[in-house]
Structure 1
Amino acid sequence: MVSLDNLTVSYHQHPALHHISGEFLSGSLTAVVGPNGSGKSTLLKSIMGLLPTSGGNIKVSVPGARMAYLPQVAEIDRSFPISVHDCVLLGCWQQQGPWGCVDDGQHARVSAAIDAVGLNGFEQRPISSLSSGQLQRVLFARMLVQDADLILLDEPFNAIDSKTTAALLGIIAQWQQQGRTVMAVLHDDAQVRRHFPQTLLLARELVAWGPTAQVMTEAHLSTARAMAEAWDEDAELCAIDASSASKGAPRDLLRVGV
Structure 2
Amino acid sequence: MVRLDNLTVSYRQHPALHHISGQFANGSLTAVIGPNGSGKSTLLKSIMGLLKLSGGHVQVSTPRERIAYLPQMTEIDRSFPMPVRDCVLLGCWSALGAWGGVNADMLARADAAIHQVGLEGFDERTVGSLSSGQFQRVLFARLLVQDADLILLDEPFNAMDSRTTAALLELIKHWHAEGRTVIAVLHDDAQVNAHFGQTVLLARELVAWGDTAAVLTDANLRRARTLAEAWDDSADICHTDEALA
**TM-score, normalised relative to structure 1:** 0.93
Superposition map of 1:68-87 within 5 A: 68-87=68-87
Tell me which amino acid in the other structure corresponds to 2:132: S
Aligned partners of 1:179, 1:139: CA distance in 2, in Å?
A: 21
Tell me which amino acid in the other structure corresponds to 2:129: S
- Residue 236 of structure 1 and its aligned partner are, at CA, apart by 2.3
Match of 2:165 in 1: 165
SS of the residue corresponding to residue 165 of structure 1 reads helix
Are the aligned partners of 2:54 and 2:243 in contact in 1 as well (CA < 8 Å)? no
CA shift digits 1:195-251 (9 cap, x unpaired): 00000000000000000000001110000000000112222225342x5444xxxxx
Match of 1:65 in 2: 65
CA shift digits 1:92-113 (9 cap, x unpaired): 0011111111111110000000
Runs of 4+ in 1 over 4 A off after TM superposition: none
Match of 1:21 in 2: 21
Superposition map of 1:167-246 within 5 A: 167-241=167-241, 244-246=243-245
Match of 1:93 in 2: 93
Are the aligned partners of 2:55 and 2:240 in contact in 1 as well (CA < 8 Å)? no
Aligned partners of 1:12, 1:159: CA distance in 2, in Å?
A: 30
- Residue 61 of structure 1 and its aligned partner are, at CA, apart by 0.1
Tell me which amino acid in the other structure corresponds to 1:70: L
Q: Which residues of structure 2 form unaligned runs of 5+?
A: none
Match of 1:252 in 2: none
Match of 1:152 in 2: 152
Aligned residues: 245
Aligned partners of 1:94, 1:78: CA distance in 2, in Å?
A: 22
Tell me which amino acid in the other structure corresponds to 1:108: A
Tell me which amino acid in the other structure corresponds to 1:207: V
- Residue 182 of structure 1 and its aligned partner are, at CA, apart by 0.2
Tell me which amino acid in the other structure corresponds to 1:106: M
